[in-house]
Structures are given as C-alpha cells and as structure tokens.
Amino acid sequence: MKIEHLGIAVSNLEQSIKAFSDLLGTSPYKTEVVESEGVKTVFFQVGDSKIELLEATHEQSAIAKFISKRGEGLHHVAFAVDHIESEMERLKSEGYTLINESPKEGADQKLICFIHPKSTGGILIELCQDRP
Ligand code: ZN
C-alpha cells in the first residue's frame, strides 16, 4: 500500500487552489465534479502522491456537513490498493465498518470505498484502485 492522496475539505476552493499552488510551486493537474458525492475536486501531484481539495457543491454534501461540524481540514487519507474488492472483504471480515458495500466510482479514474472513522482512530480512510 501507499498513500495515494490526502483529501482536504475546503470552503473556498479558489483560495485553497492559490494556497496549495504557492506551497507546492505547481498548478493542479485536474478539476472534476463528482455529482453523486456533491463535491468539486482539484488534484495536485506531490511526488508519488496527491493532494485532493474538496469543496461542497450543495448543502447536503458530506463535505458541507463535515465543514459545519469540524471546520476545514484533513478529511480523509486514501490508500492505493490493487484489488479493492478483496481488500474490502478482508477488512469487513476483521470487523471494520465499510461506508459503501460495493466499490463506487470516485474522482480521478478510481474505484473507491470508504472505511468509517470510528474503526480507524477518527480518520476517514479511502481505499482506491485504478478503474480498469
Ligand atoms: Zn479522495
């Protein structure tokens, strides 16, 4: 496994794009709206990993709820896996709570699954596999 990306919830995407462009000395390589999740995402490449900025597209979005509860900041850590379904099976059998029961389509050409933070020390974990 490696850290595929860190997901950061932001309330003002334009401002955060500027901040991370300044920090990293590079522009985002991709902007994508994931309608089903109610988010607009922006990706920066950082070595082998990425930073994903997430802004809510509507009030019912999980990102809007996260920010109103906890404020802006680290939202999830994403690990790259080769076989997402077998990883999901394995973690489920070890008692972890999966938020989605089958892999779903995420941003950046990935199949993804979220693991509930209550079983991972308060951090939302995302598993992701490149979409075939
Ligand atoms: Zn993510």
Confidence at residue 132, expressed as pLDDT on a 0 to 100 scale: 81
Residues 6+ apart with CB under 8 A from 110: 4, 128, 129, 130, 131
Ligand 1 centroid vs 45 CA: distance in angstroms?
Answer: 13
In the three-class reduction of DSSP (H, G, I as helix; E, B as strand; rest coil), residue 5 is classed as strand
Ligand 1 centroid vs 52 CA: distance in angstroms?
Answer: 6
E strand or H helix that includes residue 88: helix 84-93
Confidence at residue 36, expressed as pLDDT on a 0 to 100 scale: 86
Band (pLDDT 50/70/90 cuts) for residue 72 is very high
Distance CA 16, CA 32 (A): 15
- Residue from 119, 120, 121, 86 nearest 103 by CA: 86
Ligand 1 centroid vs 126 CA: distance in angstroms?
Answer: 6
Confidence at residue 79, expressed as pLDDT on a 0 to 100 scale: 97
Provide, rounded to the nearest whole percent, the portion of the chain with pLDDT above 90: 92
Are 24 and 34 within 8 A, CB to CB?
A: no
What's the whole-number mean pLDDT along residues 99-121? 93
Ligand 1 centroid vs 83 CA: distance in angstroms?
Answer: 17
Q: Is the pLDDT of residue 43 over 90?
A: yes
- Residue from 70, 36, 74, 71 nearest 53 by CA: 74
The answer, as to whether pTM is greater than 0.85, is yes
Ligand 1 centroid vs 63 CA: distance in angstroms?
Answer: 12
Ligand 1 centroid vs 95 CA: distance in angstroms?
Answer: 22
Ligand 1 centroid vs 94 CA: distance in angstroms?
Answer: 23
Confidence at residue 1, expressed as pLDDT on a 0 to 100 scale: 78
CA–CA distance from 23 to each of 20, 44, 68 (Å)? 5, 11, 26
- Residue from 34, 18, 38 nearest 26 by CA: 18
Q: Is the pLDDT of residue 25 over 90?
A: yes
What's the whole-number mean pLDDT along residues 70-79? 97
